[in-house]
């Protein structure tokens, strides 16, 4: 098989670049809303979509030629969000590229691209990745100088069977390209270990409140209505199931790296995790001492409506100063003075001021989709929306 053609045209960074990680999960739902899930894909498929605006007649002609001659085959696609500047000269025959691969998708056994411009670039095979950089399977074919070249991971990816290109002049093209990654490609496994509660990962990314968040609360019901007599309603599950997106702003490469590792641990819809609702679900009526194992909150009928459900007994203390504590409510009593007393599983261990602390329910959720998008505005930061749905039947006892 011949070597894949490197797709050399970079994105138009005046618009977002969309990276998609796709797993595949079979979800079987029981009458009670309990789930059985099976992961059907060991490695994710990675896709990249981005706009292109060619800036010269020569680049436009190159793009047309590549599409005409090679779009039936997978391209070697530079992963543009993960570009790094070449830090030292590489003479032809070089078998090592010094760089810091820690927050990029370089992988042993994978591909990488050295790119100066659309006409001056090279595809290389990566034999090994370590903390000092890349070891290549064979020497580079060309000389490359520091600072004016980029080094990028590359993945095999296909275009659809047809693409639309718009001529804004006789020598210029604008187009939106969507590349779908090939199956079974190697990618680095994230080494980050998240905070855990009851042996389950906790997503601790604060939501990005630049847009409203809509929560859906649904209860599975069977409604029998003959239209002429009584209506019979049977509840299938013991509690409602809520679904809500988590909007994430990833401010730097370290945050992006953690997020990618978190997605790899989820395997799409397969593996659940805890996430604070980030709502003011319970309001402290008094300050909390580190030795306290009971707290008082303003009355809001928690004892009557929510405590009976195991999915509303785990809570997160979230202080504005950054302290976070996760714990379980073992008992709840509504008092006659406008408060409710909650008994915790253990002394809280951290003091919390009532006017500086938010108490949110800690919900056990899974991803609602196997496909998660990262929207890149530059190669430095990204945004993501994680659609989630509760799995209350799986809350640990």
CA gap 129, 133 in Å, rounded: 6
pLDDT tens per residue across span 56-96 = 999 999 999 999 999 999 999 999 999 999 999 999 999 99
pLDDT for 189 equals 66
pLDDT tens per residue across span 232-284 = 999 888 889 999 999 999 999 999 999 999 999 999 999 999 999 999 999 99
Q: What is the DSSP letter of 144?
A: B
The chain-wide mean pLDDT, for the chain, equals: 94
Question: Taking the mean position of all CA atoms in its chain, how far away is CA 76?
Answer: 24
Q: Which has the closest alpha carbon to 54: 158, 152, 177, 159? A: 177
pLDDT for 236 equals 87
What residue segments make up the domains of the chain, in order of their start?
17-181, 196-394
Q: Which has the closest alpha carbon to 40: 201, 374, 269? A: 269
pLDDT tens per residue across span 195-242 = 999 999 999 988 888 777 889 999 999 999 989 999 999 988 888 999
With pLDDT > 90 as the criterion, what percentage of the chain qualifies? 90
CA gap 110, 104 in Å, rounded: 13
At 102, list the tokens: 């820690």
CA gap 99, 124 in Å, rounded: 15
At 152, list the tokens: 């990028």
150, β-bridge pairs: 85, 115
Query: Is the entire prediction scored with pTM above 0.85?
Result: yes
Q: Which residue has the higher pLDDT, 316 or 3?
A: 316
- Which residue matches tokens 């605006």? 53
pLDDT tens per residue across span 333-351 = 999 999 999 999 999 999 9
257 contacts: CB under 8 Å, gap ≥ 6: 102, 103, 190, 192
pLDDT tens per residue across span 96-151 = 999 999 899 999 999 999 999 999 999 999 999 999 999 999 999 999 999 999 99
Q: Are 374 and 248 in contact (CB under 8 A)?
A: no
């Amino acid at each position: 098989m011949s070597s894949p053609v490197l797709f050399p045209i970079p994105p138009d960074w005046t618009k977002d670049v969309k990276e998609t990680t796709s797993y595949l999960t079979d979800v079987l739902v029981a009458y009670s809303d309990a789930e059985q899930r099976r992961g059907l894909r060991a490695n994710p498929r990675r896709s990249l979509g981005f706009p292109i605006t060619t800036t010269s007649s020569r680049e436009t002609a190159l793009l047309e030629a590549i599409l005409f001659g090679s779009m039936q085959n997978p391209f070697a696609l530079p992963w543009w969000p993960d570009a790094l500047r070449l830090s030292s000269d590489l003479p032809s025959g070089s078998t090592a590229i010094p760089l810091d691969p820690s927050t990029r998708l370089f992988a042993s056994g994978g591909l990488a691209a050295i790119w100066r411009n659309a006409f001056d670039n090279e595809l290389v095979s990566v034999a090994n990745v370590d903390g000092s950089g890349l070891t290549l399977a064979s020497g580079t074919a060309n000389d490359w100088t520091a600072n004016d070249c980029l080094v990028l991971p590359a993945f095999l990816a296909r275009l659809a069977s047809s693409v639309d290109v718009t001529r804004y002049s006789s020598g210029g093209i604008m187009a939106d390209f969507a590349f779908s990654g090939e199956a079974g490609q190697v990618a680095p496994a994230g080494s980050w270990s998240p905070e855990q509660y009851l042996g389950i990962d906790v997503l601790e990314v604060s939501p990005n409140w630049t847009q409203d968040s809509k929560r859906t609360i649904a209860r599975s019901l069977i409604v029998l209505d003959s239209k002429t007599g009584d209506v019979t309603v049977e509840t299938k599950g013991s509690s409602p199931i809520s679904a809500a997106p988590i909007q994430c702003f990833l401010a730097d490469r370290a945050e992006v790296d953690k997020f990618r590792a978190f997605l790899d641990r989820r395997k799409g819809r397969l593996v659940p995790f805890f996430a604070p609702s980030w709502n003011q679900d319970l309001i402290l009526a008094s300050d909390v001492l580190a030795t306290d194992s009971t707290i008082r909150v303003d009355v809001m009928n928690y004892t009557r409506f929510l405590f009976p459900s195991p999915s509303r007994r785990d809570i997160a203390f979230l202080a504005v100063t950054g302290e976070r504590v996760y714990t379980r409510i073992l008992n709840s009593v509504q008092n006659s003075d406008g408060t409710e007393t909650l008994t915790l599983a253990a002394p809280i261990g951290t003091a919390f001021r009532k006017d500086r602390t938010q108490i949110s329910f800690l919900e056990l959720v899974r991803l609602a989709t196997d496909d998660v998008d990262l929207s890149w505005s530059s190669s430095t930061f990204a945004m993501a929306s994680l659609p989630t749905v509760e799995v209350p039947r799986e809350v640990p006892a």
